[in-house]
Amino acid sequence: MSQQHEPDQPRQAGIQVIARAAQIMRALGQAPQGLSLAAIAQEVDLPRSTVQRIINALADEMLVEHAGPGGGVRLGPALGQLINQTQTDIISLTRSYMQSLSDEVQESVCLCSLSGDKIYIIDRIVAEQDLRVVFPIGIHMPAYATSAGKVLLSEMPEASVRSLLPDPLPSLTALTLSLPRLLEQLKQIHIDKVSIDMDECTDGIGSCAAVLDTYLGLFSLAVVAPTARIQPRGEIIREALLACKQDIERAIGHTLRQA
């Protein structure tokens, strides 16, 4: 008896649809304010009719939603629920690395994600220092004035950053960057994958952060300390941070990055 095989064509077509849906969701992930169908089609280089069919299917599963009367589309609540469910995983997967980094540099360390135009602190290790920086888990801080936020903003297209942030940027301290200066700085941060801030968010507090590109998404890992301690040790902290980033990404790195 001859063995029956499923035809390859339908299977390949199904794989292609999944790949295209993933392309569209990645494009929307870079534009929290939403994109029009025409903009999505241009971004992923697909016909608008194809984009419309895929968007309709994703909307049925609440993976995307309409972003208001203008006809734009953004990532939907179902994706947010999935991301929230993975936060426990990212904490368990990174905590030992965070502890090792904190022990090495003797400073507080935090793990953050981007939430709108602010950073959200997912987890922290507080250093055992007489003078130390203590920040509550869950706190939202302006992304534009923190190293943890700037390193995540640097992974977004400039147009998306402009849409996300107010102009002018509210000054939190005398050293808070203007929007033009921030946009220029983000270009170099994108290359370096590491960012610093010295008194830009809070007087007397500095930080150094690296972006973590994991299969659970993009996060930032930051060392936070009084400026008087972190400034003279900047290169040591930067090297330790980048080594920790490398270790984490070796363990849980995003291996499916598009070329």
Beta strands, E only, the chain? 64-66, 73-75, 108-115, 118-125, 140-142, 194-198, 205-214, 217-226
Taking residues 107-121, what's their average pLDDT? 92
- Same domain assignment for residues 185 and 109: yes
Q: Which of 46, 75, 104 is the last residue of a domain?
A: 75
CA separation, residue 183 to residues 157, 158, 200 (Å): 10, 7, 15
Residue 258: the pLDDT is 39
Give tens-digit pLDDT for 230-240: 888 989 999 99
Question: Cβ(146)–Cβ(197) under 8 Å?
Answer: yes
Range 102-138 burial, b when 16+ CB lie within 10 A, else e: bebbebbbbbbbbeebebbbbbbbebeeeeebebeee
User: Which of 156, 154, 83 is CA-nearest to residue 120?
Assistant: 83
Range of the domain at 21: 8-75
Which CATH number does the domain housing residue 142 bear?
3.30.450.40
| 2 within some domain | no
- Same domain assignment for residues 243 and 212: yes
Residue 142: the pLDDT is 92
- Same domain assignment for residues 37 and 129: no
Residue 2: the pLDDT is 44
Give tens-digit pLDDT for 3-27: 454 556 667 777 888 888 888 988 8
DSSP state of 173: S
- Same domain assignment for residues 67 and 131: no
| 217 within some domain | yes
Lowest-pLDDT range, 120-124, 152-156, 201-205, 255-259? 255-259
Give tens-digit pLDDT for 179-207: 999 999 999 999 998 999 999 999 999 99
Number of domains in the chain: 2
Please state the φ and ψ torsions of residue 92, each to the nearest 5 degrees: -65, -30
Q: Which helix (H) or strand (E) holds 105?
A: helix 77-105
| 113 within some domain | yes
Question: Cβ(148)–Cβ(120) under 8 Å?
Answer: no
Between 241 and 33, whose confidence is greater?
241
| 3 within some domain | no
Residue 253: the pLDDT is 83
| 3-state secondary structure (DSSP) of residue 83 | helix
pLDDT category, 68, cuts 50, 70, 90?
A: low
Q: Please name the residue that has the structure tokens 């929007």.
A: 179
pLDDT tops 50 at residue 1: no
| 1 within some domain | no
Taking residues 165-176, what's their average pLDDT? 94
pLDDT tops 60 at residue 72: yes
CA separation, residue 69 to residues 36, 53, 59, 66 (Å): 11, 19, 16, 8
Per the document, the length of the chain is 259
- Same domain assignment for residues 65 and 86: no
| 258 within some domain | no
Residue 259: the pLDDT is 33
pLDDT category, 89, cuts 50, 70, 90?
A: confident
